[in-house]
Copies of this chain bind each other. A is one copy, B any other.
């Protein structure tokens, strides 16, 4: 069986930890890894790493690969999408890729940022699904609802299949219901949550796409011809310029709308696999351990007389007193305090921030780069102080700046600095000044993390003031 992890979401409901440029699946909210790491970990007993594929936005490609490095995930199994186009197009292209490798391949689709807590039932359901997919069905998992949830789509159970327990035809796909409908669904016992996990033959889903979504299917062959290894250091899969244009022009539609709702070939395995979409901060209540007062506290926290609250911090001290059903999320540059029942509306709040032009709405305080990351620490009218971390063996582009000079001091690790065609080696407590317009490059030749403090000076201090001459990650 092949596995495809869809990791294209942004998870704005988890702002300020999750932002457009550092989305939910790349964050660690609980457990031992980030959400995508936990997803891979969960699949490994069922699908070998050689058969796993990941689709994500190109902005997240390198960080996603970095997070999957410890699993020996093959970079060219990652498809970097030029823009977000919902699931139908990504699944179609992935099916093509998998089918090309193995024309009989069965592929399973998994969201990158959900939780499945019952490993045994999950495994059983997937094995059952594999058998059904072999017979040509489009198989989906149906989760028995435990509450009248209005945030999910539902599957209406049809006739039971003869030779497979808890397996049914799907009568209808129901969109997110209102509360009264959701209550009826729950009472009737014949509606199941649509959890976004699907199993099918690659050839079967392609056939269904051809029938129900010919506009997308028609272009898949062309898109396949546009796939190339990325020009940077890590050769993940990306589309060439023509492919990106084509991809961007195609409809943004979910596989549910594009295929599942229209196909007569869909079956559902009903199984309580302990699924949770971890859709917003209050969902942590269902997936995290709580203290005896019902609190979930992460970070440097002193909580007095607080109940059923979620406090998620980093280094800063957070003291809370007498809170009930409150969510506090602290990051370096932005703080959220929210009543728990309004967790869903964090999405709208982030939309307001973006409308107002607040950079904190999209960009995280620590900006990930192919070579590491940077964090703004302080700024004034004519200066900007950054902490720059360069990963072992990585190198920034050869570049120059028109409007700013820079002063670098090594705090930790060792740096190799190319400046005006000379090379300097700096260790902790050593510094160098980069004049206006000077070609320079910073690298970490060591085996430890390099941390430098960069102070920029100039009348214009903007990330866009960068002229790149050479870049190992293909950025020009």
Contacts and interface: CB of A to CB of B under 8 A. Distances in A.
Interface in A351-406: 352-353, 356, 358, 360, 377-378, 380, 382-383, 385, 387, 405
A323 interface: yes
Q: Do most interface residues of chain A lie in helix, strand or loop, or is the interface mixed?
A: strand
A116 B341 CA distance: 40
Contact of A356 (B302, B328, B451): B302
Contact of A412 (B339, B380, B429): B380
Interface string A67-81: 000000000000000
Interface stretch (A57-65, A177-185, A247-255, A311-319): A311-319
A465 to B, nearest CB: 16
Contacts of A467: none
A352 B303 CA distance: 11
A206 to B, nearest CB: 44
A342 B342 CA distance: 23
Interface in A427-476: 428-429, 431, 433, 451, 453, 455, 457
A345 B332 CA distance: 27
A428 B412 contact: no
A288 interface: no
Chain A interface extent, by class: 35 or more
Interface string A317-333: 11111111010101011
A259 to B, nearest CB: 37
A378 B383 CA distance: 17
A281 B311 CA distance: 21
Contact of A377 (B353, B378, B409): B378
A204 B345 CA distance: 65
Nearest to A384: B411
A383 B407 contact: no
A328 B319 contact: no
A333 B317 contact: yes
A152 to B, nearest CB: 22
Contact of A326 (B304, B337, B377): B337
A46 interface: no
Contact of A411 (B380, B409, B411, B431): B380
The 6 A-B residue pairs with the shortest CB-CB distance in the complex, in nearest-first order: A322-B342, A322-B339, A321-B338, A429-B457, A317-B334, A383-B411
Interface of A: 15-16, 302, 304-305, 311, 313, 316-324, 326, 328, 330, 332-339, 341-342, 345-346, 348-349, 352-353, 356, 358, 360, 377-378, 380, 382-383, 385, 387, 405, 407, 409, 411-412, 428-429, 431, 433, 451, 453, 455, 457
29 contacts: A302-B353, A304-B345, A304-B348, A305-B342, A316-B334, A317-B334, A317-B353, A319-B337, A320-B336, A320-B337, A321-B338, A321-B342, A321-B345, A321-B346, A322-B345, A323-B338, A335-B335, A378-B387, A380-B411, A380-B451, A383-B428, A405-B429, A407-B429, A407-B431, A409-B455, A429-B455, A429-B457, A431-B431, A453-B455
